[in-house]
Structure 1
Amino acid sequence: MPELPEMENYKIQLSQHILDLPITKVAVNREKSINVEPHRFTEELMGLRIIFIERRGKHLVFHLDNGRRLLLHLMLGGLLYFGGAEHKPARTTQIEISFGEQTLYFIGLRLGYLHLLSAKETEEALSDLGPELFDRRMNEHKFAELLGKRRGNLKTALVNQSIIAGIGNCYADEIAFVAGIRPDAKLQSLTAEDLSKLYHAAREVLTEATRQGGYIELPLTQEDQLTGGFNEHCRVYDRGGEACLVCGQPIVKAEISGRKVFYCTNCQHE
């Protein structure tokens, strides 16, 4: 599932391509991916312009010039592609929004969605999300407070969107590794030093992953050389059985509360 770095990468790149261009065509190939009747969705969007793109957690919010919003959540397997029809990936698209000769393709929205909402409805839809790690009001003390008052294991807390928005399976494991703490560690056992390490590890990992384009392999455009660059830099995620890059011990693949998890028993403590 695309997480903060993937969605931030999409936000940055799309902002360079589609802002202030009139929408010239809309195609809805799967009605369940939207929240209104297809004809209304199409009619409302035609001729409008996207004037700003915002990321909130794992969501993108497309601000339209009439004050309404498009709220996107890619969920599991969702992808975006922007370009001409001749370069469109050979995959089923659920929604297509065109800006002249170029089209933004929404791929894999079997579980995800693109909802047309008012500003107030968008705010309500995102109201359960926790704070952003890079929000100016977030700091080490606030981060420690958010995790310190919880119970349960570290992995479950890090991926809980109501605690901190934007972190999912991949980056929770990467953050835990950089902090030197096992993802199955109990929150109540973490010291102030552990929480400090987690805060700085989270900022380091998410900054690095965003800079390297996240882990999605499909480029956003034909010229895109950035998207998916972090794939080769994962320290533990999806590397079960492979040697730890630090100590050489095999990376453990396990399961916590139904989620797969990867960690090094030598480099990470409980």
Structure 2
Amino acid sequence: MSRLDHPAHHLLDELDGFRVAIDAERERADIILDRPPFNIVSMAQRDQLRLIFEALDVDERVRVIVLRSVGEHFSSGGDIKGFLEAEPEHVSKLAWNIAAPARAEKPVIAANRGYCFGVGFELSLACDFRIATDTTLYALPEQRLGQIPGSGGSARLQKMVGIGRTKDIVMRSRRISGQQALDWGIAVDCVPDRQLEAATDALVDELRGFSPIAQRTAKKLLNDTEDAPLAIAIELEGHCYSRLRTSDDFREGVEAFHAKRKPKFTGR
């Protein structure tokens, strides 16, 4: 992998528990959790993951970011002992680090198989799309340790599935299957485990077919208006729509539509 450009690049010289692969031809970057068998996420790894997402977000070779893992499990969660050893100031940054996929302008896909617990689930919830398999189990098990989710898990989940289902998952440390996650709207697809890579590839290629500037705008608009009153959300949507009308990509999209050809978007 070529060196990633980031002001804190010295922190990325030796990645802790994961690696990065960039396929410039497919405009894709993969962040691969690689601490088998359970891909436990260390405290230092959380800092590095944030920096990697920030670096990939400005990398012109990359259109889509994929978060995946090595082995049978996405992640069984964080390094529990690390919480007791970490300084309070460091712990206070956990949610900010794990929210990096949501802050990224580019679309981010989480490919989840096997255990997806604790911070593994929280990191996936911060992504734009989650693909599960028939082996996937999602859980926020912190209650079993006398704790609560601390990196945005309960907050994001409540926005997706409501307070009742979130209490059922959080307060009972309940595990839900990939199929149930699909039924509840947490995952966008649930496929046989052997098809996870193919399903992820297909979604990457689908997303690459759209205008980069339109996708960036849609993601930011949806994130920014999640808690907004309807009238404010509609107003902001209108402003975004108006700005995109002057883009080269919109002109190309309209011309391609009338010419019955595939558009060639440039992101401008």
Q: The TM-score by the shorter chain falls in which range?
A: under 0.3
Higher relative contact order (CA 8 A, sep 6+): 1
Q: TM-score, normalised by structure 1?
A: 0.24
- Greater fraction of residues in strand: 1
